Amino acid sequence: MKPVEDVFSSNAFRRVVLPGIVLTAGFHPFVSGRIPTLTNLYGIGPTAAIVAEIIVFGLGVSSAIQWIYYVYEGFRLEWITALAGRITRARVERYNERLNQIYGQREFDALEPSEQATVTKIYEDLLDFPLAMGNDGVARHFAERPTRLGNIIATYELYAGSRYGIDGTFFWNHFLNLAGDTSRKAFDDAYAFAESLVLASFAGAIVALVHLIVLIGFGVGALNQSLIFFHIQPGPAVSAWLALFGLFVWLWFYQVSLPAHRTAGAMFEAIVDGVFPKFVEWATALRVPPSDETIKKVEALNEYLKNLDRPSQTTRRAWLPSSGEIDEPRDGA
């Protein structure tokens, strides 16, 4: 058996417990009246019932992790992130317009110290957005997804494509399998932690939404008692506090998930760079690929490797750009 500390530090446990605690804090008032019945029926104590509640709620949320990420990245329920998309695209446009205004026709070394500090700060913000090659052969940051979190994820999901010209998402597991045990374990831990924060944020949003609906129900019932179909144990004051709690958890955990995903993304990019020679060796030696899709992608990679003497299509992170003119970002990937 695994030691207790190993179980509590496991990635799966992290993904379940953190959102489970948030949901239990928000929904326990609804089920507290049933706790005595459950404890008498199954012969368990109140503490065990709370633990079971945390696990059940946590498993329910963690089982929908892919859909939750699709919502946060703007692929599902697009209307939820539509406003965020407009704000994000406008922010990137402002970044690029500001850089154009500062640079003019000058190089970075010709800027004033205060201007250099401003430019560096702007490029630090732009690192949260993926790169794409422009028609002039210069890589630029652009808003690929509507949310900040979605763009941070896109930076490392699309890294292998922008850096080496291959589909990094499709070959994701290949890169991880080629990495050393230490690197892979460090990335898995960092990514699991980032996922647990996103799940906790989503759990907070659910708590806030449910209690806002409950508050509306209390308001409607106060105006017309004939519309009351059932009663719930917590009063409007409890629901109001829990709605604020859910709102705070949603926003706070979303914010702390951003640096967590930056860290995980930097680890994955380092893995891609480190294992790419092994990956090329595997791809060029592959003779019996497992699927037609893999054949096409490997052939595309081999074709890319044959033409490495052409002008480089690799991207660069423009911390200190040599060009004074920076175009506006493109929409879309």
Q: What is the pTM of this model?
A: 0.78
- Which has the closest alpha carbon to 299: 310, 309, 287, 313? 287
Please tell me what DSSP assigns to residue 325. -
Tokens 């941070």 sit at which residue?
152
Q: Note the Cα 316 to chain centre separation in Å.
A: 23
Each residue's pLDDT, cut to its tens digit, for the chain (333 residues) gives 455 445 445 677 778 999 999 999 888 877 766 666 666 666 666 777 788 888 989 999 999 999 999 999 999 999 999 999 999 999 998 988 888 888 877 888 888 888 889 989 998 898 899 877 766 666 678 888 999 999 999 999 988 888 888 888 889 999 999 999 999 999 999 999 999 999 999 999 999 999 898 888 777 766 666 656 656 667 778 888 999 999 999 999 999 999 999 999 999 999 999 999 999 888 887 665 567 777 777 777 777 777 765 544 444 333 344 444 444 444 443
Give the other-Cβ count within 10 Å of 259's Cβ.
12
Tell me which amino acid residue 80 is: I
Structure-token match 């706790």, residue found: 35
Q: How far apart are CA 155 and CA 266, in angstroms?
A: 9
Contact 208, 253 (CB under 8 A): no
**Cα separation of 167 and 61, whole Å?**
30
Which of 169, 137, 171, 175 lies closest to 155 in space, CA to CA? 169
Cβ–Cβ < 8 Å for 170, 279:
no
Residue 305's CB is within 10 A of a number of other CB atoms, namely 14
Rounded to whole angstroms, the Cα distance separating 224 from 235 reads 17
Would you give the end-to-end CA distance of the chain in angstroms?
47
Residues in a beta bridge with 133: 139
Element spanning 228, H or E: none
